[in-house]
Structure formats: C-alpha cells, structure tokens
Amino acid sequence: YSSETEHDVVVIGGGPGGYVAAIKAAQEGLKTACVEKRGALGGTCLNVGCIPSKSLLNNSHIYHQINHDVKKRGIDVGDVKLNLGQMMKAKEESVSGLTKGIEFLFKKNGVDYIKGTGTLVGEHEIKVNPLEGGEVKTLKAKNIIIATGSEATPFPGLEIDEKKIVTSTGAIALTEVPKKMVVIGGGIIGLEMGSVWSRLGAEVTVVEYLGAIGGPGMDAEVSKNIQRTLGKQGIKFKTGTKVVSGSVEGETVKINVEAAKGGKEETLEADVVLVAIGRRPYTEGLGLENLDLETDERGRIVIDSEYRTKLPHIRVIGDVTFGAMLAHKAEEEGIAAVEYISKGYGHVNYGAIPSVMYTHPEVAWVGQSEQDVKASGKEYSVGTFPFSANSRAKTNLDTDGFVKFIADKETDRILGIHIVGPNAGEMIAEGVLALEYGASCEDIGRTSHAHPTLSEAFKEAAMATYSKAIHS
Ligand code: FAD
Ligand code: NAI
C-alpha cells in the first residue's frame, strides 16, 4: 500500500469481528485494509481463545475417556501416558492452520493486510506503527471499523506472570500438569480450562463469588446440573466465596478466601492459579482520545444501533463494544457494519445469539433463562426431557443432562432453550433457527427428528411444553 492511497474501509483489529468485516467489505467491492498488531490474523479467538481451548478440551476429553470410560465399553487398554508436548503441538497446528487460512482469504478477496498497531490520529487518518519496525505510515480511510477486542480483567493484587498466576493465555500453554490449580471465577473460561487440567490430572478448585457457576445468562437449573456433573468428574467448587488476597511463596501460590457475605477465612494452596473473572474492552494505543470518542464506565466504546460512534463514519464491533463477548456475535456485527456502509442497512438479532460451554457434557442455550422470564412477570410453561431417557444417549453410555424449553404460556412461542448434554453445542443451532423464525414448541414437536439421535430429546422437550413427552 502507499500512504497516498485512500481506502474505502480500514478495519483496526483482525479478530473474528475485524477479519470478517474486512472480507465482507472487499466482497462488497470496497477497497479495504485490515490493520493487526499481533503478527497473525484471527484475534483472541483463533490465537489464544476459542480454537486452542477447544483443541485442548477435545484431546483432554479423549485422554480422560480412555482412562475412565472405555473399560465398560469393552475396550481394555494398556499403559496410558500423557504426552503434553504433543497435545500442545496438536493445538498449535490447529491454530496456525486456521490463522494462515485467513491470510489466504484476505489474498483471495483482495484485502490489504497491514501488520502493525493502528492509532486514530485524524477523523479519516490512522497512523500505523509497523510490527517489524520501519517507517510509521498513515492510512487514509473513508470509513473506519474498530474491532480491537478485549483482554483478561486482572485481579487486584495478583500479578499475572502467565506461569504461576495465569489468565486463559497462560492456561492454554502450561508446560506441565499442575498438581493443584485454583481457578478464580466459575464462568465459561474457568469451567472450560478447569475441565482441561482436571482431566489431565490436576486437583482443581473453582472459587466463584456468586452462588452459582456458569457466568451471566446460564439458566439456574442448568447451572446446578452441570455443577453436579463436573463435581463428579473431580472439580471442587467453592461458590458464594470471594478471594481476599493472594501471594506467591516459592513454588506455591497462596490464595486467601472467605464467604462472600463475610465470615470464615481459609487459605488455598496451588501451584497454578487461573484468573478468569471476565474480560474487558481493549483500546490501548488506539487513540480514542485524539478524536474524543466516548467509552462507558466499563471501557466499552459507545455506539448507536448502527454501530456508529459520534463520528458516523467510524463504527465499532465485537468485544470492544456492548453485548456478549462471543466470536460469532462479533462476526455477525462485522457483516452488519459493512452492510450499513455498502447498502445502508444491516441486521443482527441479539435475541437469538447462542452460547456454548464446551465442557463434557456441553452446555448450550439461546434466548432467556427461566429466572429472566420469571423476573419479566410473563406467564410461561416449561418442558424438559432428560438424556437418560433418550435411546441414542443410552446407547452411547453418555446420559448426563437434559433439554429444557421455556415458552410463552399463552402463545407457546419459544422464549428460551437450554441444553446440558452431549453435542449440545451442535444441537442448539436448531433452537437458534426456531427462535429466529418465531417458532412455537408445537412447531418443533411436530417436526420429524431421525431415530436414534440425540435430537429426539430436543423434540421431546418441546412436546413436554405444550403436551407430554412420549418417552419419559
Ligand atoms: P479479538 O478477537 O480480541 O481481536 C482483536 C484484535 O485486534 C486482536 O488480534 C488485537 O491484537 C488487535 N488489535 C487491538 N488493538 C489494535 C490496534 N490498535 N491496532 C491493530 N490491531 C489491534 N468465543 C466464542 O464464541 N466461542 C468460544 O469457544 C470462545 N472461547 C474463548 C476461549 C478463551 C480462552 C477466550 C479468552 C475467549 C473465548 N471466546 C470464545 C471469546 C472470543 O475469543 C471473543 O469474543 C472474540 O475473539 C472477539 O472478537 P473481536 O474481533 O471482537 O476481538
Ligand atoms: P465470565 O463473565 O463468563 O465469568 C466470570 C465469573 O467470575 C463470573 O461467574 C463471576 O461471578 C466470577 N467472578 C467475578 N469476579 C470474581 C471474584 N472477584 N471472585 C470470584 N469470582 C468472581 O468471564 P470469563 O469466564 O472470564 O470469560 C470471559 C468472556 O470470554 C466471557 O464473556 C465469555 O463469553 C467468553 N468466552 C466464551 C467461551 C465460549 O463461548 N465457549 C469460552 C471462553 C470465554
């Protein structure tokens, strides 16, 4: 590129929000550049988030299953050994394959990939500090899309070294299995990474401030169920407990906790502590102050319903602004923001964005939780179906969990769907579609689902809402 060229769109940040926006913009015929400072595309999700964590979750599950779950299936195995180095290598290969894949998509679609840190210096100007040194350049842009993502929220007083006191970034790259791990925060990261290390042999204790695990949005009944199941797998929970302070003493990290409401203090010892108390918007070095762009009390860049800041040609998407911090949410916004630029309209249905936690069993949901519906004062009906009554789950010897529908009592329209169970993350797609199309439970209950599949539990839970399930 040359500093003289003006781009129609410059995207700052190459994560799921930014790279999707850049590809979409190029596909719309707009001259597009994407500035990314990490040295690889894909953002948090591909490099240190979704992808590496799912690689470790999948492979640690197989290891755990071979150790604990194959004898009853008629498979006797000899000495099972963990090769952590190879497990990490498999993870790294998935990551690099996918990040290079995005570079290829950039080339294919004609997106200029600019490696460096982007700083807003004028209403239409972005200064780029190149990653590999060299001359600082200025890009001119008709439109700017900010997609700079998020970072782990630190815990005051605990200094992250990514070795003994780690965020998820350190937790996906440990070089040996800790004997004892304390996880601060029983949200999605805590439970996914806690599962990985527990399966590989660590004694894991999760400390959660609230009375229930799972983080915001999880249905309370689901939360209880998955806590019981993860407990059976060996994870210990201290809910309603707050961390007061911590310190590193030699090889040991000491964490002082007490009941959230005050009371008895206790000291937990661990060789690794994972801080997973949420993520916060990342805007360091972005130069928001140069244009006087507003952030809210949590650091999120303030936008309107068309993703515009007070300078309407500067739009913001993904983790750095409002809403769920999820890759697919950022991607939807990337497409919508570009469509606002190219067509004048765009669309994301925030009521139908699925959440998935990739533990075993998985937890997946879309729409409202029962506690949310109750709080809204709406009359509702609930239908549930346990996997222990589903033929495929029984055949697979994998019967933990259930499907739960919540519907408007009067109209039977679906308000929320919650699944704890094998493959819940895939199964929820049907629920998202149902919600998008404004389906009723009866619409699903009268739709044929193949036998024997786990999806029959989905259908039967829907039936249980407006009528009765057959098999329970
Ligand atoms: P990011 O992916 O954070 O990308 C922002 C990019 O911008 C970064 O690469 C950064 O280097 C770059 N950048 C920042 N500032 C500048 C600048 N000034 N100039 C140039 N570049 C800049 N979500 C899911 O949906 N499913 C999952 O399974 C899942 N698992 C996760 C597991 C973990 C351990 C973590 C931490 C997160 C996970 N997430 C998951 C969340 C998901 O990673 C984020 O929601 C998603 O990455 C947000 O995308 P984004 O494009 O908004 O930002
Ligand atoms: P989270 O918001 O899901 O959970 C944080 C948990 O920490 C909450 O339960 C909260 O009550 C608790 N907490 C907060 N302060 C605490 C304290 N001082 N002591 C004890 N507990 C405390 O955040 P998490 O797990 O860090 O994940 C960050 C984001 O990343 C989430 O928004 C999530 O959407 C995303 N993510 C998504 C994944 C997925 O989709 N599968 C996987 C991993 C992350």
**Does the beta carbon of 33 lie inside 6 Å of ligand 2?**
no
Which token pair is 190?
A: 């805590």
**Does the beta carbon of 215 lie inside 6 Å of ligand 2?**
yes
Pocket test for ligand 1, best of 20, 23, 44 (most atoms within 8 A of CB): 44
H or E segment to which residue 314 belongs: strand 314-316
Distance (angstroms) between ligand 1 centre and the Cα of 28 equals 24
From the number of C-beta atoms within 10 Å of its C-beta (0-12, 13-18, 19+), residue 29 rates as exposed
Strand ranges of the sheet holding 252-259, from the earlier edge strand across to the other edge: 241-249, 252-259, 265-270
Angle between helices 220-232 and 188-199 (to 10 degrees): 20
What was the pLDDT predicted at 1? 45
Strand ranges of the sheet holding 355-357, from the earlier edge strand across to the other edge: 355-357, 362-367, 414-421, 402-408, 380-386
Residue 325, SS3? coil
Q: How many helices (H) and strands (E) does the chain have?
A: 14, 21
What was the pLDDT predicted at 45? 98
The Cβ of residue 38 has, within 10 Å, a number of other Cβ atoms equal to 19
Give the span between the Cα atoms of 380 and 383, in whole angstroms.
10
Which residue puts its alpha carbon closest to atom 34 of ligand 1?
49
Give the span between the Cα atoms of 302 and 237, in whole angstroms.
37
ipTM of model: 0.98
Which token pair is 197?
A: 């290390």
Q: How far is CA 272 from CA 265, 279, 449, 459, in A?
A: 20, 20, 45, 43
CB 4 within 8 A of CB 31: no
Cα–Cα–Cα angle for 208, 211, 212, nearest 5°?
75
Give the span between the Cα atoms of 47 and 14, in whole angstroms.
11
Distance (angstroms) between ligand 1 centre and the Cα of 68 equals 34
Give the span between the Cα atoms of 60 and 29, in whole angstroms.
44
Is residue 451 part of the annotated active site? The answer reads yes
Query: Minimum-distance ligand to the CA of 139?
Result: 1
The Cβ of residue 188 has, within 10 Å, a number of other Cβ atoms equal to 26
Distance (angstroms) between ligand 1 centre and the Cα of 93 equals 19
Which residue puts its alpha carbon closest to atom 2 of ligand 2?
278
Q: How far is CA 236 from CA 190, 227, 313, in A?
A: 12, 9, 50
Which residue puts its alpha carbon closest to atom 37 of ligand 1?
49
What was the pLDDT predicted at 216? 86
Which residue puts its alpha carbon closest to atom 38 of ligand 2?
188
CB 220 within 8 A of CB 212: yes
Given a cut of 50, the residues of the chain with pLDDT beneath it are 1-2
Sign of CA dihedral 202, 207, 212, 218: negative
Alpha helices in 389-472 (DSSP H): 391-395, 424-436, 441-445, 455-466
**Does the beta carbon of 257 lie inside 6 Å of ligand 2?**
no
Q: Tell me the chain's radius of gyration from C-alpha atoms.
A: 24
421 phi/psi in degrees, rounded to 5: 165, 170
- Known binding residues for FAD are 54, 118, 148-150, 319, 325-328
